Amino acid sequence: MNFVEPIRDPNTLEMVVKHLEKTNERNYIMFIIGLYTGLRISDILLLQVKHIDKNEIRIREKKTNKQRVIPLNNKLKRPLMKYIDGMESYEFIIQSREGINQPLSRSMAYKVIKELENYFRLAALGTHTMRKTFGYHYYKETKDVVTLQKIFNHSSQSETLKYIGITQDEISTAIMQMNYF
C-alpha cells in the first residue's frame, strides 16, 4: 500500500483548488467534496444528486454501511449546487466520460490526483489526500481530535492522528530539534 499524505501548506492547497476550478469542473467538485466533508473517495464517487439537499449530504457509507449526515460548508455548497443544477436525482455527481451516468472509477480519480502531484511537484498524493487534508487542517485549527475521530469513525485518537500525518510531523520535529553540542 502506498503512503499518502495530506496537503499541509495552505498556500499550496489554495493553488491546487484554484487550478482545478479553472481547468476541470468535475475534478474540482470531486476535490472540494473531499476537502470540505472528509468523505472517503469510495463515498464521493458514489454520490448521486438525490443524496444532496440544500444544506446537507445524506449517505450510507460504503465501508461502514453507516448512515451519515454531513452539513454543507458554504465553500462547498455554492459550487456544488451550481454544478448539480439541471441534473436528475438519479445521476452520479462525479461521472465518468465512459458510458451514460457511470461514476468515475477509483483508478481514474487516482489518476486525477497523481496529475496534480506531478503538476505541482508534490509528494505522496493519492485518493485519500482530500480526506487526510480535511483532517489535518481541521486538527491544526481546532486541536479537537475527539470530534475528528468521530467524523472519521476511527477506533482511537492515535489512529486519527497517525492517519492525518500529525504523528509523523511530531516525530520529524523532535528529530530536527535534537542538538547535543
Which residues are designated catalytic? 40, 63, 128, 131, 154, 163
Q: Tell me whether residue 5 is in a domain.
A: no
Q: Tell me whether residue 97 is in a domain.
A: yes
pLDDT band at 71 (very low <50, low <70, confident <90, very high): very high
- Segment 62-89 shows an average pLDDT of 94
Q: Which residues of 128-139 are buried (b: 16+ CB within 10 A; e: fewer)?
A: bbbbbbbbbbbb
Q: Tell me whether residue 20 is in a domain.
A: yes
pLDDT band at 178 (very low <50, low <70, confident <90, very high): confident
Q: Tell me whether residue 128 is in a domain.
A: yes
Burial class of residue 141 (count of CB atoms within 10 Å of its CB; 0-12, 13-18, 19+): exposed
Tell me how many domains the chain contains.
1
pTM over 0.85: yes
Beta strands in 61-174 (DSSP E): 67-71
Cα–Cα distance measured from residue 103 to residue 88, given in angstroms and rounded to the nearest whole number: 14
What CATH number should be reported for the domain holding residue 31? 1.10.443.10
Asked if 20 and 28 touch (Cβ cutoff 8 Å), the reply is yes
Residue 105 pLDDT greater than 70, yes or no: yes
Residue 2 pLDDT greater than 80, yes or no: no
pLDDT band at 65 (very low <50, low <70, confident <90, very high): confident
Q: Tell me whether residue 2 is in a domain.
A: no
Show the domain range for 78.
10-177
Q: Tell me whether residue 86 is in a domain.
A: yes
Amino acid letter, 78:
R
